[in-house]
Structure 1
Amino acid sequence: MSSPVLEDFRVGVRDWCRVHVPVGWRVGQTGVSDAEFVGFQREWFQTLRSGGFAVPHWPREFGGGLTVAEQVVLYQELAAADAPRLVLAFVAVHHAASTLLAAGSEAQRVRHLPAILEGEVWCQGFSEPGAGSDLASLRTVARREGDDFVVSGQKVWASGAQYADWCLLLARTDPVAPKRKGISYLLMDMRSRGIDVRPIRQATGESHFCELFLDEVRIPVSQLVGAENAGWQVAQSTLGAERGLTMLELAERLGNAGLRWLVEECARPGPDGSRPVDDAVIADRLAQFETEIEGLRVLCRDVVQRYEAGRVGAADASVVKLFYSELLQRLTGFGAEVGGLSAQSVLRKPSSGGWESGAWVLDFVGSWEWTIPGGSSEIQRTIIGERGLGLPREPQ
């Protein structure tokens, strides 16, 4: 995959990171207020944008255009430089953009893609208290009144909704149709009347997720994505991004920062002077993690390349999402185990970091987030079996 042109690109990214990655950001972003977190994230997004690195996976005409090989190099170098993650813009640059590019109208793309580059923040209103993994059972209702849909219902696990300007919303527009046939996909302005956002405090002490309570929220019909009652098909673009394309960056961060910190943890002498890495069983586990991470990297690159070539399989993104989330869980759990009692006392981590921060107990608790949203591990295995391997569908 290496070439003189690609190596020149790597050198350029590495030099850029040396100048632009904020020094000491991990300490500065630990224990900060919401306002400090948002301000830092907005500034970092614009810094990346100025270098041409904020949306590398977008089409060139919208500010992206990097090849898959260049994206791999970019994420390798960002991880190696321990750069902050785009936490605040994550849903916007991945989920919202992939949906608009795949199924949005020209007016919707022109309206929102440039706005995302200017800092427009998005959240996702899919899951409900009774419709998580079985998303098609959602009960939020949107009834048509003239040029508007009037929406009422409840959403949960909406990441970053307390900061969002817009929301990707699924609602039932035909209550008598089969459950996957009567859903529409709407773009909801979070400043609309009738929206109540309530952050959910998590076990880690953060409030990353929110509940949304919608009471007669009016959404113009012009903000319908795709055809009315065809939102389930549109949602697959969003879920495909969540399960597939976003993993390219996450795999590099897990392999660079996550594995590096785990090796450092295992090489640190304990009170008696012994090092965990000198134990043959632990050394074998580290080698296993390194092998699995390299496999994840190869999977991610392959999926992105086939996605760009129009040859991605129906279950490919689910394979990547399942592999990443369970590997993340095993790696962070192992870090908490070998870290011993001292690992239990680290109870804060940087707000702009990833799921692997070296705060092993918090990382492990947070890793369970990945085996549930975007389709639980059980749902991913069902998709792989039915759509990837052609096995018979489970009985209803």
Structure 2
Amino acid sequence: MTTLATRTDDLAELRASVHDWCRAHVPADWRRAQTGVGDAEFVAFQQAWFQELRAAGWAVPHWPAEWGGGLSAAEQMVLYQELAAADAPRLVLAFVSIHHAAATLLTAGTDEQRARHLPAILDGEIWVQGFSEPEAGSDLASLRTTARREPRDGGDVFVVNGQKLWASGALHADWCLLLARSDPAAPKRRGISYLLMDMRSPGLDVRPIRNAVGDGHFCEIFLNDVEIPAANLVGPENAGWQVAQATLSAERGMTMLELAERLGNVGLRALVETCRRPDERGHRPIDDSRVADRLAGFDTEIAGLRALCRDLVERHDTGSVGPADASVVKVYYSELLQRMTGFAAELAGLDALSELHKPASSGWESGAWLLDFIGSWEWTIPGGTNEIQRTIIGERGLGLPREP
């Protein structure tokens, strides 16, 4: 019989194990080494760090046990707490692969698709999400990229034409989770198919969108008669919208456990350090009662976020997640992140405005506060803007009348 004391002992043992492992394996001075690096150095570092975690059994704790995961929600919480406390690098490059791609394959993929791609992801296969378009960002159902089914000698293919926008990490990706309109005559949410696209396919053109400091994290993907085998269709044809909801749910669900711990450990710790740093007159922001009050408020909000995330994952395991629960967490996290990084940028002063680079393998709380604040908007817009999330909360969560 498993008792509460037994489970508590097991968690304490896991915590000690992860703590010791981090002391031995987290790369020393990785933040400095990863600041201002080129693409090749970033990819090599990320791939090596992923394999370190994989060897320890902690790269994909949220996956089923038969695929290399199997940790409970409580165990995942302990793992992410210790990784954050040790200031371990984040799996930035593998984020879409281990969360969105895996959730899609596990929820709606075929046995062949899972057998092909899940082991490959563990070996380092990189994925990108091809959802948003120039005129279909927050409203994904309005996408215009087309997928026309045609026969070929080796079997049917989908011939895809169109453009995808804001594709994070597309320059490094091997495969793409692609939404395309396969039935232009159907209502907009019923004529979309979900496809797995090889990024080495003829007719693909990936172009980075360089920002003011030269980073090209976001990319455009142009598709000109790209052929995708029908065997790469996920779920029923023209039912890709429903499949996509599993992908977006993964983004707002399991991923938040790690992000909440990062915000509570790395982010809040860095913010407190900034507040303790004296200015040119020797004044420390933390000695101002208004600043101390804001810090206490952030600490309280993070405690609430952690509780929400754990509850969401535990109810996901039991199948009792509400239709708007993931949207609540997404809004809460993204706006808390934005407030914290904005407040930190104010306190950091002019020095923060001159930072042009942040560690490539860090999260959105690197301590380069202006860049972190700019990056925080990445969480309030993609995956369904916060305005859309509030509509979901109102209509599906609270039962309010639908928008006209």
Shorter-chain TM-score above 0.5: yes
Q: Secondary structure at the match of 1:369?
A: helix
- Give the distance between the partners of 2:383 and 2:252, measured in 1 at CA: 7
Q: Deviations over 1:277-310 (max 9, x none)?
A: 1111111100000000110000000000000111
Question: Is 1:53 aligned to 2:58, yes or no?
Answer: yes
Where 2:349 maps in the other structure, the secondary structure is: helix
Shift >3 Å, 4+ stretches = none
Aligned to 1:21: 26
Structural mapping, 1:1-396, within 5 Å: 3-146=8-151, 147-395=156-404
State the AA in 2 paired with 1:358. Answer: G
Amino acid in the other structure paired with 1:6:
L
Alignment RMSD, CA only? 0.9
Q: Could you report, residue by residue, the CA deviation over 1:333-392 in whole angstroms, capped at 9, with x for unpaired residues?
A: 000011111222222100011010000111011111111001111011011111111111
Q: CA deviation at 1:270?
A: 1.6
Whole-angstrom distance in 2 between the partners of 1:366 and 1:143: 36
2: distance between equivalents of 1:138 and 1:198? 19
Counterpart of 2:198, as a letter, is D
For the 8 Å contact 1:151–1:217, the answer to whether it is kept is: yes
Is the contact made by 1:343 and 1:360 (CA closer than 8 Å) also made in structure 2? Answer: yes
Contact kept? 1:204, 1:362, Cα under 8 Å:
no
**Amino acid of the structure 1 residue aligned with 2:111:** E
The aligned length equals 395
Q: Deviations over 1:97-127 (max 9, x none)?
A: 0000000011100110000000000000000
| Worse-superposed segment, 193-202 or 343-352 | 343-352
Is the 8 Å Cα contact of residues 204 and 365 (structure 1) preserved in structure 2? Answer: no
> Cα deviations across residues 171-208 of structure 1 (Å, max 9, x unaligned)?
00000100000000000000100000001112453211
| Distance across 1 between alignment mates of 2:101 and 2:300 | 33
Q: Give distance in 2, aligned partners of 1:327 and 1:205.
A: 27
Larger mean Cα displacement after TM superposition, 172-181 or 261-270: 261-270
* Cα deviation digits, residues 105-162 of structure 1 (max 9, x gap): 1110011000000000000000000001111000000001011000000000111010
Task: Give the letter for the 1:230 counterpart.
Answer: A
Opposite residue 159 of structure 1, the aligned amino acid is S
- C-alpha distance in structure 1 between counterparts of 2:332 and 2:131, whole Å: 23
Q: Structure 1 regions of 5+ residues with no counterpart?
A: none
Unaligned runs of 5+ in 2: none
| TM-score between the two structures when normalised by the length of structure 2 | 0.97
The aligned amino acid for 1:42 is: Q
Q: Letter of the aligned partner of 2:133 in structure 1?
A: E
Shift of residue 230 of structure 1?
0.3
SS in 2 for 1:374: coil
Provide the C-alpha distance between the structure 2 equivalents of 1:389 and 1:228, rounded to a whole number of angstroms.
Answer: 32
- 1: CA distance between counterparts of 2:211 and 2:71? 36
